[in-house]
Structure 1
Amino acid sequence: MVVMVNSTGPSGLTNFSENEPPAKEKNPVYDWSPEIQGIILSSILYGAALTPVPIGYLSGIYSVKKMVGSTLFLSSLFSLFIPLAADLGEATVIVCRVVQGIAQGVVLTAQHAIWVKWAPLLEQGRLTSISLSGCLLGPFIVLLVTGFICQSLGWPMVYYIFGACGCALALIWFIVAYDDPKDHPCMSIREKEYIASSVVQEFSSSGLSLPFKAMLKSRPLWVISLSHFAFFWTNTILIVYIPTFINSVFHVNVEENGLLSALPYLFAWIFGILSGLMADFIQSRNILSLLAIRKLFNTLGLLLPAFFSLCLLYLSSSFHIVIIFLILTNATGSFSLNGMFLNPLDIAPRYYSFLKGVTSLIGMIGGLIASTLTGIIIDQDPESSWFKIFFLMSGMNVVGVIFYLIFAEAEIQDWAEDRRQTRL
């Protein structure tokens, strides 16, 4: 976005860098206002918000392997169309990104169903955090190389290269992925039996009713959803607007912008993996109860980003300090991977995929609102926009922490214990 438009942020902000402004690209540059940019950047969430609940239900019926592989390919294919769509107008770009959002929403939601069959209890933290940390490693790689691609090859090549890589990855997925351990040809019988005896089998959606009324009355489920709302609010702003923030504050060239934007995600990926190992270690040694583990990691994952984002506003006296606080704001959010993200598996393992769909939907709504509202704030109040954005983000996180500490649970709920006794 930084090199696709004439301007990405408000003017008059302090410049901590002596570097020259971004180099003029030989590729098309569009006259999109910050408000339009906010809509374009958040449009992927418009599509993604349509999928979590139905996909969470359908992933208990149909092959997750086929669902994830086919929609990953579809999203990558539409990435190849973005440069052409940009020439046709912002409305066409929005349509392409909505379709991508639908496809990526399927991938994000359906993949959770894999761990119901593949993750033994004492390995849930590390396996889930390793897989979900891909959502952090991806932005690191993309932001790192995108600046160089834009500078040397032009911004359209970003979509062509990553679109092609996504299509190739989808083909590899179809070759190596399996829905169930028992179908994997390279595993020993002993390992298959160990996994089968260690996991709680998920509820099968086919032909049975979901306990909707009980779910609506479940306070633990509501606080998990509220935490997702806060997490996605923060994470969307950090993913979507960090390049814009860096460009508006530092006025660095596009290569440096990509490098600086990527650094926080490298540390977020490392923190995500380490937090999974820490959670499993604490649980295996019985140092804390499962509920205490969930509350601890969820608090760290929401409260620390709120704290460091405020430090970013008031204690950032130099270029290097700003970068340090940006890294800490992003990286510490990874602790949530072993809090709210695993909690639905604790309270209702039979309905895990469906509940992940519901909580992801609520989270995506938070991300959609955050992305759109941030664009509006930047457009209407250029002087103090980042203060408002980070204060609002911190407030959301603090509210999420308070409610989670009060109402969260980690025991299987009555309505999820035995599907044969479940009633609407």
Structure 2
Amino acid sequence: MTHLSRNESSSSSTNGSVACTMVDKAPAPKTYRQAWVVLFFLVFLRTSVSVFQFTFSVVPGVSAEFFHVSLTAINWLSNSQGLVYVFVSFFTGWIFEKWGVKRSLIAAGAISTFGAGLRYVAVIINPPSFALTMLGQVIGSIAAPLSLNITTMFASTWFTQNMRATAGMFVASNYGAILGMFVIPPLVTDVSKIPMMTLMVVILSAVSFVPLLVLPSKPPSPPSTILIDPHSKTDSPSFFKGLCNLGKNPNFCLLFLVHGLNVGNSIALGTIFTQIISPFGYTDAQAGQLNAVSFFAGTLGCSVAGPVLDLTKQHKLFLKLIAPMVMVTSIGYVFLASYPVADATTNSILWQGAQVFGFLIVLVMDYLRAGPDAQPPHHMLHALIFQAVLAVIMTLLSFGFRGRMARSDAIRLAESTSEKESLPHIK
């Protein structure tokens, strides 16, 4: 916002009097140092939430033996998370707008810790209760959409335009999956280790939750001219009107499908990867290490993609490059936007779609598991073919995306307007 300065300078010349009114500039958008501190603790929270999600799926055989249930029942611990994610995501946009970033993250940390504690109680009672474990899993899973769907709103609250993709990269990177897959399988070698594992998750959840209570809720000044200059601010529609607008946007629908198939495939593969390769003689520990390597590669890719996107703004080109890479990888396994709709709304819908696809893909892949008489028994070749077909479909859809980067365009326009209004006006 611009306004008249306290000191107006006037000068006289032989040709007459020229009054020069200086206009103050608003504080330049900047990313404060505390933004990186807040980002660190958000990533820490995301890590603990992800470890919570993968606790049992990375050791499915031992978990099934501990609870005296089938592998399909263990898969439902993950499937329940997808259902919870979809349901809660209908409300996260509204929650974020009403509660703000800090209170939403506090709620996520508290819920995750409570769910983890409930699961610990379930495994130390005699006999262990799978039903109570499922209840704890369902409750704790509410933390996932609260801590992930908020990514774009968090980034726009704390970071300038040229750093938001980098910040989002850190939040979206699945460090928790890497940690869980590397650490849990070697530790949980038999059923006696299950209580220790669940206690470790409780401690991790609590440690990630406490710092959220004392973090600042927002930076000293907004990091975007869209938030500073009322002349450049485009009013966002209401949450429900935003949903209707997105449904009528063909490019968002394409993005929804590409994102959903991409992340859904990743969720499904991470959930049942151990079951895919165990028929060929791999142990849980070996499967966990292989799965962790794939997640590490994804995190490394995010680490490169975030700064590159901030620098080049080539989001559409990146989408069309990465989809074929996912397709090739999925086939290989067989042989082994939206502004001015609110950030909170669009991000919630995209991640909600990913969870829907992940849930459905896990169900279908589990159904396509071979029987005990197959060679090798219970192999999942047909499931991997199904996943590869989805990757091909995702790639074809990605090349149909033609959407504008409307938010970036609006910020550039706002910055240009702000610069013009900050120049001296000659009367």
Q: TM-score, structure 2 length as denominator?
A: 0.71
Is residue 232 from structure 1 mapped to residue 263 from structure 2 by the alignment? yes
* Residues 86-129 of structure 1: per-residue CA shift (max 9 Å, x gap): 54543333322222222222222134311122232222222211
User: Match of 1:81, SS?
Assistant: helix
Give the equivalent residue in structure 2 for 1:154. 193
Query: In the alignment, which residue of structure 1 is the partner of 2:360?
Result: 369
Report how far residue 393 of structure 1 moved.
1.7
Give the deviation of 1:300 after TM superposition: 3.4
Q: 2:98 aligns with which of 61, 69, 74?
A: 61
Identify the match of residue 222 of structure 1 among 253, 257, 261. Answer: 253
Which AA in structure 2 matches 1:400? M
Moved more, 221-230 or 68-77: 68-77
- Can you list the C-alpha shifts for 1:294-343, whole angstroms capped at 9, x where unaligned? 233223333212212222322x4xxxxxxxxxxxxxxxxxxxxxxxxxxx
Cα distance in 1, alignment partners of residues 61 and 94 from structure 2? 40
Higher RCO (C-alpha 8 Å, min separation 6): 1
In structure 1, which of residues 270, 275, 290 is the aligned counterpart of residue 300 of structure 2? 270
SS in 2 for 1:395: helix
Structure 1 stretches of 5 or more lacking a match?
9-27, 183-191, 284-292, 317-343, 418-424
Runs of 4+ that moved beyond 6 A: 198-202
User: In structure 2, what residue type is equivalent to 1:128?
Assistant: G
8 Å CA contact retained: 2:112, 2:143: yes
- Helix, strand or coil: the match of 1:151? coil
C-alpha distance after superposition, 1:131-159 (max 9, x if no partner): 211xx221111111112321397122222
CA distance in 1, matches of 2:71, 2:367: 7
SS in 2 for 1:61: helix
Whichever residue aligns with residue 173 of structure 1, its letter is: L
Q: Would you say the 8 A contact 2:156–2:224 is kept in 1?
A: no
Q: For 1:56, give the aligned amino acid.
A: G
1:412/1:379 CA distance change after superposition, 3 Å: same
* Most deviating of 218-227 and 54-63: 54-63
Aligned counterpart in structure 1 of residue 241 of structure 2, from 207, 210, 219: 210
Partners of 1:90 and 1:137 in 2: how far apart?
Answer: 27
Post-superposition offset of 1:366: 0.5
- Look up the match of 1:82: 119
Amino acid at match of 2:303: I
Matching residue of 1:355: 346
CA-based RMSD: 3.0
How is 1:162-311 mapped onto 2 (pairs within 5 angstroms)? Answer: 162-176=201-215, 178-182=216-220, 192=221, 195-197=223-225, 210-252=241-283, 254-283=284-313, 293-311=314-332
The CA deviation string for residues 338-377 of structure 1, in whole angstroms up to 9 with x for no partner, is xxxxxx2xx3144111111122222211111112222222
User: Once the two structures are superposed, what CA deviation does each residue of 1:60-111 show, in whole Å capped at 9, x if it has no partner?
Assistant: 2222211112222211331233254354543333322222222222222134
Give the corresponding residue for 2:384: 390
Aligned residues: 342
- Contact 1:60/1:113 (<8 A) preserved: no
- Residues 366-422 of structure 1, C-alpha deviation per residue, up to 9 Å, x if partnerless? 111112222222265865853222222222222223223213312439xx99xxxxx
5+ residue gaps, structure 2 = 1-55, 412-427
Judging changes above 3 Å, is the alpha-carbon distance between structure 1 residues 112 and 281 closer, same or farther for their aligned structure 2 residues? closer
- Residue aligning to 2:398: 404
Q: Does the CA contact (< 8 Å) of 1:4 and 1:29 recur in 2? A: no
C-alpha distance in structure 2 between counterparts of 1:40 and 1:114, whole Å: 29
Question: Where does residue 130 of structure 1 map in the other structure?
Answer: 170
Q: Is the 8 A contact 1:227 1:397 kept in 2?
A: no
- For residues 66 and 202 of structure 1, the distance between their equivalents in structure 2, rounded to whole angstroms, comes to 25
Q: CA deviation at 1:59?
A: 0.8
Q: 1:7 to 1:83 in 2, by over 3 A?
A: closer
